[in-house]
Structure 1
Amino acid sequence: MNKRDTCLAGNTSDLDAAVALFHSLSDATRLTIVRRLADGEARVVDLIGELGLAQSTVSAHVACLRDCGLVTGRPEGRQVFYSLSRPELLDVLAAAETLLAATGNAVALCPTYGTGARGAAIDTEETRQ
């Protein structure tokens, strides 16, 4: 059995879990938060200042990542410091960056999920201003 066959041999619940993992990382804001937390822990207020987003937006995305088990909170007084819960997440991000570099970012051209896809959220400097 080759490596591809082994990957596809998992049961449906394994596939469902993988779908949930990648879905949790598919939002630009959540991915930005994960990448920021890769540099060290942060409070929601820190993320608000760095991302320039509303508190409710940042809190909702952090809650999603926490519910998925990707982020953990460390209470300190009235504050909560968030960090990545699993160092393996950094391996996933590194592998994704390697894959994107190897494909020349071809996924951005995908007619279904790429940046120009109908209904895709395009997050550029021009659209944020």
Structure 2
Amino acid sequence: MLLGETPQHMMFNGATDALTKTHKMEVNAGDSVRIFFGVGGPNLISSFHVIGEIFDKVFDQASLTSPPLTDVQTTLVPAGGATMVEFVADYPGRYILVDHALSRAEKGLSGVLTVKGDADSSIFSSPEPIDPHSGH
């Protein structure tokens, strides 16, 4: 499987459910969030994305001395590479971390960031009730 570049399992943080059950990530609405994201490899790149968010800053290739990219939806991270992203968690809910090659989520490559707090109707409002347990 390794030489054919067809892994059967993929995961964040080195274990299945590491960022969904084992090490839950929770913040409050209005908090600044910084995620360091690396790809251990050995072969595949990642199209890192948080569903329902736009990264305010992306430190491409994890360079902290170069100016960051701004207003980025998805960032590419090479095998053996890393990035750092920052955003403000403006609205409560479940934000799903994915590799935007979404078939990889079925192999275990997903995480959840839970944002707690009160909803701000100036950001989003709906005539229908919102399920607080659904993802964005």
TM-score bracket, shorter-length normalisation: under 0.3
Structure 1 or 2: larger strand share? Answer: 2
| Structure number with bigger Rg | 1
Q: With the length of structure 1 as denominator, give the TM-score of the two structures.
A: 0.24
Higher relative contact order (CA 8 A, sep 6+): 2
Structure 1 or 2: larger helix share? Answer: 1
